[in-house]
Amino acid sequence: MAEVPRAGTGEVDAAVAAARDAFPAWRAVAPGDRAAIMRAIADGIEAKLDTIARIEARNAGKPISDANGEIGMVVETFRYYAAGPERLLGKTIPVAGGVDFTFREPMGVVGLIVPWNFPLAIASWKVAPALAAGNTVVLKPAELTPLSALELEKIALEAGLPEGVLNVVVGPGSTCGQRMVEHPDINKIAFTGSTEVGRSIAEGAAGTIKRVTLELGGKSAAVVFADADIDKAAAAVPYAVFGNAGQDCCARSRILVERSQLDRFLEVMEGTVKAMRVGDPLDSSTEMGPLISASHREAVASFVPDERNVAFRGGVPEGPGYWFPPTVLAPVSNTERAAREEIFGPVACVIPFDGEEEAVRIANDTEYGLSGSIWTRDGGRALRVARAIDTGVLSINSNSSVRVSTPFGGFKQSGIGRELGPDALDHYTEVKNVYYSTEEGS
């Protein structure tokens, strides 16, 4: 659908140099003026929302209705962080002999490395707070989905962002990404992607003591108690696994169901999954598109080597496309590979449990801790279990994961730091403490 340049380490170095040059002037822009540019970027994206959503849908194979929602979120994210420049508040701290106060200072050049599953949405979660805080940016989209980031760069320049403040480098992770991680003039890396690459980034960043935030993989649980509205839960929960064809770090790919309601749950779920509209991403009624690539489809298929554990599947269209049907494995033990590793495809494991204690134990029996859901009509239980599950983002009687105004990120090997909400600004600033002596004669 397009040809893009393939950058190498030389282009990364040039982008970093441009960002470094642009930093002093950008940090000095008055907060209100920085806010106005960010609002203009939001307006520019909104004006081209349909075009960018179409690019994203075609490039990533995601349903156009999802792409519209994601680009809408990008607009919202820039508007939300447009308030940031004027809210970088410090503190005053009582001390003896003077006055003590803090500033939140920009970090300098920040390197942002993002994946292909929500290309521009995830980029905006990083770019917007980074710019709001007065940093300059080198952004590297994933190799498979570079197009929407290039659109963002154009729109930002048209909106009045000075040259060199946002630089998009399109190239492979193994060369460009790695160079960014090692580059002595990049002060922070914010990364979203696999836990494996995240680990190598944390190691690489140690060389220059870079600040690092990591949003990594997940293997989250939707816990359905017998006292839940079972029909409602069974109709909703599939969308928390099969949305974006399962290529979602927040996918609740382990569905824990209290044994007494397992049969009823599976019966309703089967109806929902078989009715799911899998097909052409550009058709507005499509709910699930194909996977991102042939090699990714192979990786997903390796989790379903035969039909033995398959309870039921949805359908896929005939013809070309990296299709993989929505697939439900049941009953699954939490020790099986499909229940332990992130599949990143439309494969759900239904795991029966007996009682609250066992539900919490199984939900926490994973190296990840990104999201999760609790389905129950017992309010006390909902809060007890919410406190007991080791995960960064939880929803009760809902599939909700991500909102612009609330913090998002993982426990355990799902990451370090938080994006979105007010917390993200902390991760793009350094705290400076200043003591001012008020002693006479000073």
Q: Which residues are catalytic?
A: 215, 249
Q: Does 117 bind ligand NAD (CB under 6 A)?
A: yes
Q: Where are the extended beta strands (E) located within 107-216?
A: 109-113, 136-140, 166-168, 188-192, 211-215
Q: How far is the CB of 99 from ligand NAD (least distance, A)?
A: 40
Q: How far is the CB of 125 from ligand NAD (least distance, A)?
A: 8
Indicate left, alpha or beta for 441 from its phi (over 0: left) and psi (-120 to 50: alpha). Answer: left
The answer to whether the beta carbons of residues 74 and 48 sit under 8 Å apart is: no
Q: How far is the CB of 191 from ligand NAD (least distance, A)?
A: 6
Q: Which of residues 392-411 bind ligand NAD (CB under 6 A)?
A: 410
Q: Which is nearer to ligand NAD, 325 or 410 (CB)?
A: 410
Q: Does 142 bind ligand NAD (CB under 6 A)?
A: yes
Q: Which is nearer to ligand NAD, 65 or 194 (CB)?
A: 194
Q: Which of residues 317-346 bind ligand NAD (CB under 6 A)?
A: 342, 344
First to last CA, the chain: 67
Q: Which is nearer to ligand NAD, 115 or 289 (CB)?
A: 115
Q: Does 139 bind ligand NAD (CB under 6 A)?
A: no
DSSP structural state of residue 162: P
Selected from 81, 116, 265, 375, the binder of ligand NAD by CB under 6 A is 116
Q: Does 178 bind ligand NAD (CB under 6 A)?
A: yes
Neighbours of 143 (CB within 10 A): 16
The answer to whether the beta carbons of residues 356 and 386 sit under 8 Å apart is: no
Q: Does 249 bind ligand NAD (CB under 6 A)?
A: yes
Selected from 181, 234, 382, 393, the binder of ligand NAD by CB under 6 A is 181
Q: Where are the extended beta strands (E) located within 174-302?
A: 188-192, 211-215, 221-224, 254-258
**Spatial CB neighbours of 163, under 8 Å, sequence gap ≥ 6:** 18, 22, 157
Q: Does 124 bind ligand NAD (CB under 6 A)?
A: no
The two counts, helices (H) then strands (E), for the chain are 16, 16
Q: Does 300 bind ligand NAD (CB under 6 A)?
A: no
From the list 22-30, 172-180, 355-363, 383-391, the region that binds ligand NAD by CB under 6 A is 172-180
434, β-bridge pairs: 101
Cα(211)–Cα(133) distance, rounded to whole angstroms? 15
The answer to whether the beta carbons of residues 315 and 278 sit under 8 Å apart is: yes
Residue 122: both structure tokens together: 């995830």
Q: Which of residues 60-79 bind ligand NAD (CB under 6 A)?
A: none
DSSP structural state of residue 425: H
Q: Does 112 bind ligand NAD (CB under 6 A)?
A: no
Q: Does 11 bind ligand NAD (CB under 6 A)?
A: no
Cα(361)–Cα(211) distance, rounded to whole angstroms? 33
Backbone Cα Rg of the chain: 23
The answer to whether the beta carbons of residues 410 and 392 sit under 8 Å apart is: yes
> Tokens 């600004």 belong to which residue?
425
Q: Which is nearer to ligand NAD, 12 or 35 (CB)?
A: 12
Neighbours of 122 (CB within 10 A): 25
Q: Does 424 bind ligand NAD (CB under 6 A)?
A: no
DSSP structural state of residue 185: T
Q: How far is the CB of 391 from ligand NAD (least distance, A)?
A: 11
By rule CB under 6 A, what count of residues binds ligand NAD? 32
Q: Does 200 bind ligand NAD (CB under 6 A)?
A: yes
From the list 140-148, 224-232, 253-261, 424-432, the region that binds ligand NAD by CB under 6 A is 140-148
Cβ-based burial of 49 (10 A; exposed 0-12, middle 13-18, buried ≥19): middle
Q: How far is the CB of 435 from ligand NAD (least distance, A)?
A: 38
Closest listed residue to residue 122, CA positions, set 109, 135, 140: 140
Report strand pairing: 98-106 vs 109-113: unpaired
Q: Which is nearer to ligand NAD, 373 or 376 (CB)?
A: 373
From the list 100-108, 161-169, 214-222, 372-380, the region that binds ligand NAD by CB under 6 A is 214-222
Q: Does 123 bind ligand NAD (CB under 6 A)?
A: no
Q: Does 194 bind ligand NAD (CB under 6 A)?
A: yes
- Contacts with ligand NAD by CB under 6 A lie at 113-117, 122, 140, 142-143, 172-174, 177-178, 181, 192-194, 197, 200-201, 215-218, 249, 342, 344, 370, 410, 414-415
